[in-house]
Amino acid sequence: MRHKVFKGELMNLVSFRPEMQGALEAFLQIMQESRGYKFDRSKLPPDIANVKTAYKDCGGDLWVVKNDDAIVGSIALRALDPDAGIGEIKRYFVLPSYQRRGIGGDLMHHAINVARESGLRRVRLDTMKKSEAALIVFRKFGFYEIPKYNNNNVAEIFMEKLLSAATN
């Protein structure tokens, strides 16, 4: 657990644990509805239904930022192609009411450091054009656009970052 103060509020960056499942689903419901999507807890995305299989068993993890017991931010990392040293960042979200406090940058910095420490040489992600705040963070951290690399039919933008020993 890492404690960090964001604009005067003490919050914790922690690795997801199974007992957080309800809080994670509540957080994702708020995120999806704030973006104009419906969130149906009876039809969870496979990676959310089984975080262990989707992330932890694939050389990664899902981290959340907690303010008291509520999740206010998340980011996940998994090995996409371990032999080629390619990882993927997923589930990068910060509640709208917590944006512009440095939480997103801290989450991204953490995931990139873990990717580098894990021996990955590049990380990829996908997103949508309307995720303007996230795109600013991605570009700030050195992500650049690449051709489509997965079968995500919702994503419109695909990005990658080369990792080196001493940069963000």
Q: What distance in Å separates the CA atoms of residue 64 and residue 73, rounded to the nearest whole number?
A: 6
Q: What is the CATH number of the domain that holds 58?
A: 3.40.630.30
Residue 147 falls inside a structural domain: no
Q: What is the mean pLDDT of the chain?
A: 89
Query: How confident is the model over 113-161, as pLDDT tens digits?
Result: 999 999 999 999 999 998 888 999 999 999 999 999 998 888 999 999 9
pLDDT of 11 strictly over 70? yes
pLDDT tens digits, 16-46: 999 999 999 999 999 888 888 888 888 888 8
Cα dihedral sign, 115-120-122-127: negative
The answer, as to whether pTM is greater than 0.95, is no
CA distances to 53, 115, 121, 158 from 118, rounded to whole Å, are 18, 5, 9, 22
- Does residue 50 lie in a domain region? yes
User: Is 29 part of a structural domain of the chain?
Assistant: yes
Closest CA to 163 of 103, 90, 85: 85
Q: Note down the domain range covering 86.
A: 2-121
Total number of domains constituting the chain: 1
